[in-house]
């Protein structure tokens, strides 16, 4: 069966790169799939960077991409808020950008209509306090994602879910989560791509569930968070790398 015209959804962290290092063979695998007529739609739960920064990084990694082929959890979170409302971003620049593009006013502290939590390296007690004070003041709590960890070449780091847990625990509120595998990002992917044929990622609990909710097969690569194959699943194809999945789909090496 020809794959030309298909759209594949690919995770970035743990599939295409680890931090600032491309995973060997991944840029070539993306290029090969594109030559075969596959549209590659990247989706990331990491909301720390702006779209411009992501596109520049993709170029550095050897995977040039257009903005319409990149979906971030920051965009999914922003879509949950109405233009003209206000928000506090307990998150990185990607969330602030997505909120501004949505027409949401970003404020440094409450009172605000919503608090949006995302992954960022400079999270501290002051940031936690600002977020909690705003939620206690009546702000809606939204999270870009609930990933417990973030993969790097040197091992795992605490993820956005770890930051979110502190805000949820302190306030006693549960967040609406926007990124993989939750409905907001599912809706955004469907709006951006229409029919999707395959999801490829490194986490069964996010990428795998996203594939289930899109009702498509899941390609699990062992280059990121997951290092061992899970129990067999007829809808999951396990491979050592993105390169291996693309070779299996296209044939040859």
Q: Which residues are catalytic?
A: 11, 13
Residue 11 and residue 27: Cα distance in Å, rounded? 13
CA distance 224 to 226: 6
Separation of CA 7 from chain center: 17
What's the distance, CA 43 to chain centroid? 5
**How many other CB atoms are found less than 10 A from the CB of residue 226?**
20
Q: How far is the C-alpha of 192 from the C-alpha of 56, rounded, in Å?
A: 21
Can you tell me the distance from the alpha carbon of 237 to that of 26, in angstroms, rounded to the nearest whole number? Answer: 17
d(CA 47, CA 50) in angstroms, rounded, equals 8
Q: Positive or negative, the Cα torsion across 217, 222, 227, 231?
A: positive
Residues with Cβ within 8 Å of residue 154, at least 6 apart in sequence: none
What b/e readout covers 173-189, taking b as 16+ CB neighbours within 10 angstroms?
A: eebebbbbbbebbbebb
**Rounded Cα distance, 250 and 253, in Å:** 9
């Amino acid at each position: 069966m020809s794959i030309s015209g298909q759209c594949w959804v690919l995770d970035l962290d743990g599939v295409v790169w680890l931090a600032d290092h491309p995973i060997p063979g991944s840029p070539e695998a993306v290029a090969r799939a594109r030559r075969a007529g596959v549209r590659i739609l990247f989706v990331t739960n990491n909301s720390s960077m702006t779209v411009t920064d992501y596109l520049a990084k993709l170029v550095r990694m050897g995977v040039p991409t257009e903005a319409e082929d990149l979906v971030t959890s920051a965009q999914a979170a922003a879509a949950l808020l109405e233009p003209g409302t206000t928000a506090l971003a307990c998150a990185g620049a990607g969330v602030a950008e997505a909120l501004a593009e949505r027409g949401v006013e970003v404020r440094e502290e409450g009172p605000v209509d919503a608090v949006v939590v995302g992954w960022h390296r400079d999270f501290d007690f002051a940031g936690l306090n600002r977020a909690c004070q705003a939620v206690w003041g009546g702000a809606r709590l939204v999270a870009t994602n609930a990933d417990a960890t973030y993969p790097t070449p040197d091992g795992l780091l605490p993820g956005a879910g770890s930051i979110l847990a502190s805000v949820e625990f302190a306030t006693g509120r549960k967040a609406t989560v926007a990124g993989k595998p939750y409905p907001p990002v599912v809706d955004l992917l469907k709006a951006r791509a229409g029919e999707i044929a395959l999801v490829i990622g490194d986490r069964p609990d996010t990428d795998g569930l996203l594939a289930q909710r899109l009702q498509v097969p899941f390609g699990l690569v062992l280059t990121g968070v997951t290092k061992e194959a899970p129990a067999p699943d007829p809808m999951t194809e396990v491979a050592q790398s993105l390169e291996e999945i693309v070779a299996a789909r296209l044939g040859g090496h």
